[in-house]
Structure 1
Amino acid sequence: RVVRNSFQQEVNKRTLKELLNTQREQLMADVKREVLEAVRGADKPWGMDVVDVRITRVDYADTITRSVYDRMEAERKRVANELRSTGFAEGEKIRAEADRQREIIVAEAYRNAQAVKGQGDAKAAAIYAEAFGRDPAFAQFYRNLDAYKASFGSKSDVMVIDQSSDFFKSMRSAAPGR
């Protein structure tokens, strides 16, 4: 009982970290000193000597153990939530960077496509100019076909045209056998 009481008093003076790391030897020395004082007592010595005292295990009351476990669990949850939020923020940063790079790539691709299209249009215009320069009547006929093609948006469109229009005149003159 004397040893147990001495241990309890000394353990209550220290933190768990101190008990397990820095002040373990000091704790045992203090307990040994208190037990020797009780055993050698001034009034009635017990007739024995205490050579050594050691800690084998430190148990806390169930309520203390439960509260320590709850604190540890809360700390782990806090760390987990912090890591999740950090991961979410990193994910958002990565997604934003990917979106930015995608926009740059799409813009560059559009620019390159427009340049190629412009080169093709220029080449087509040069070919048209050369072809139309050789035969102005064909050029007029081709432009009329394009105009009529553009005027029909769907299959159900209807157009009423005078037969004496320039289009029909060019069609009659281009028809074989006339």
Structure 2
Amino acid sequence: MNRIGFIGSSLLVVLALLSSMLFVVDQRQFGVVYALGQIKDVITEPGLNFKLPPPFQNVSYLDKRLLTLDSTDAEPVLTAEKQRVVIDWYVRWRITAPSDYIRNVGLDENAGANQLNRVVRNAFQEEVNKHTVKDLLSLKREVLMADVKREVLEAVQGAKPWGVDVVDVRITRVDYVEAITESVYRRMEAERKRVANELRSTGAAEGEKIRADADKQREVTIANAYRDAQKIKGEGDAEASRLYADSFGKDASFAQFYRSLDAYKSSFSKKSDVMVLDPSSDFFKAMRGSGSTANAVAAPAKK
């Protein structure tokens, strides 16, 4: 039993030793082997690898993929016309030389991101100082981003190379600082209100002009129509008077009888009308002589 236990213990020790000597490098990583704190080897290809057991050798990993660094601060930058603007940006970068990266930057990706953030921010401050706000919002933004990328590459590939490559630098937002933005919004609002009030006053004046012209045309049209109506009415009355005169001149008794009928019609226009007159009055003369008058009127009709 003691022998079996010894063999089992030995196998466990051997397995533990082998597991500490074997390591796998993923295709998305660099494997860096350290020997007593010094870089012994850099594994760039994926697969199973061997090393000495700790503490003689250790292994760490660095990401070889394309990394993204976003701006984290909102510190304003001065433009060429001394306007304070806030710029949001991002950088696409990767580790290309793990040995140089570890010696000059740090042991992990966060160390490189922190230092790269400082370099990119300084490059943006320097380049934005040379351009106006209009340039930042126009096609010249591409030129500015290219200049920033060039400066960043010069910094990371200088006397002590970082072992990284900056693939792209992009601006995502350009805006005034909050105080200036609020002032700009108020000025824009005041300008829009001024234009709106001007349009309203112009529209009101134009509306009054149109209404006045319409009233004038209405009055002119009514006056012309009344004039034409009075003219036609006068001509009709004149023609009627002429016809009456011609007709009444031929028979005086008929004319008197016709006028009496008009008078009766005007006097008794309603059933409730009441008149108090002397029966011997001339008003009923036509009624008293209705028989002889009717015969006189009807006599010509028998011919």
TM range (shorter): 0.5 to 0.7
Q: C-alpha displacement at 1:159, in angstroms?
A: 0.4
The amino acid of 1:164's aligned partner reads S
- Counterpart of 1:100 in 2: which secondary structure? helix
The amino acid of 1:20's aligned partner reads K
The amino acid of 1:132's aligned partner reads F
The amino acid of 1:89's aligned partner reads A
Q: Would you tell me which structure has more strand in proportion to its own residues? A: 2
Q: Would you tell me which structure has more helix in proportion to its own residues? A: 1
Determine the C-alpha separation between the residues in 1 that align with 2:84 and 2:223. Answer: 64
- Counterpart of 1:59 in 2: which secondary structure? strand
Please state if 1:87 is matched with 2:203.
Answer: yes
Determine the C-alpha separation between the residues in 1 that align with 2:84 and 2:194. Answer: 23
Q: C-alpha displacement at 1:147, in angstroms?
A: 3.0
Please state if 1:69 is matched with 2:185.
Answer: yes
Please state if 1:173 is matched with 2:242.
Answer: no
Q: 1:92 to 1:110 in 2, by over 3 A?
A: same
- Who wins on radius of gyration, i.e. which is larger? 2
The amino acid of 1:99's aligned partner reads D
Please state if 1:107 is matched with 2:223.
Answer: yes
Q: C-alpha displacement at 1:68, in angstroms?
A: 1.0
Whether the 8 Å CA contact 2:83–2:133 is kept in 1: the answer is yes
Q: 1:138 to 1:167 in 2, by over 3 A?
A: farther
Partner of 1:39: none
Higher alpha-carbon deviation: 79-88 or 116-125: 79-88
Unaligned 5+ residue runs, structure 1?
A: 37-45, 49-53
Unaligned 5+ residue runs, structure 2?
A: 1-73, 86-131, 152-157, 161-168, 296-303
Q: 1:9 to 1:84 in 2, by over 3 A?
A: same
- Counterpart of 1:160 in 2: which secondary structure? coil
**1:128-148 deviation line (CA, Å, top 9, x unaligned):** 101111111122222233334
Q: 1:55 to 1:68 in 2, by over 3 A?
A: farther
Higher alpha-carbon deviation: 115-124 or 160-169: 160-169
Partner of 1:116: 232
Whether the 8 Å CA contact 1:141–1:170 is kept in 2: the answer is yes
Q: 1:173 to 1:61 in 2, by over 3 A?
A: same
Please state if 1:20 is matched with 2:134.
Answer: yes
Q: 1:9 to 1:168 in 2, by over 3 A?
A: closer
Please state if 1:59 is matched with 2:175.
Answer: yes
Whether the 8 Å CA contact 1:141–1:167 is kept in 2: the answer is no
Determine the C-alpha separation between the residues in 1 that align with 2:181 and 2:203. Answer: 33
Q: C-alpha displacement at 1:172, in angstroms?
A: 2.5
**1:98-133 deviation line (CA, Å, top 9, x unaligned):** 110111111111111111111110110011101111
Please state if 1:8 is matched with 2:77.
Answer: yes
**Aligned residue pairs: how many?**
150
Determine the C-alpha separation between the residues in 2 that align with 1:15 and 1:148. Answer: 102
Partner of 2:110: none
Higher relative contact order, structure no. (Cα contacts within 8 Å, ≥ 6 residues apart): 2
Partner of 2:11: none
Percent identity at matched positions? 57
- Counterpart of 2:174 in 1: which secondary structure? coil
Q: TM-score, normalised by structure 2?
A: 0.41
Determine the C-alpha separation between the residues in 2 that align with 1:103 and 1:130. Answer: 40
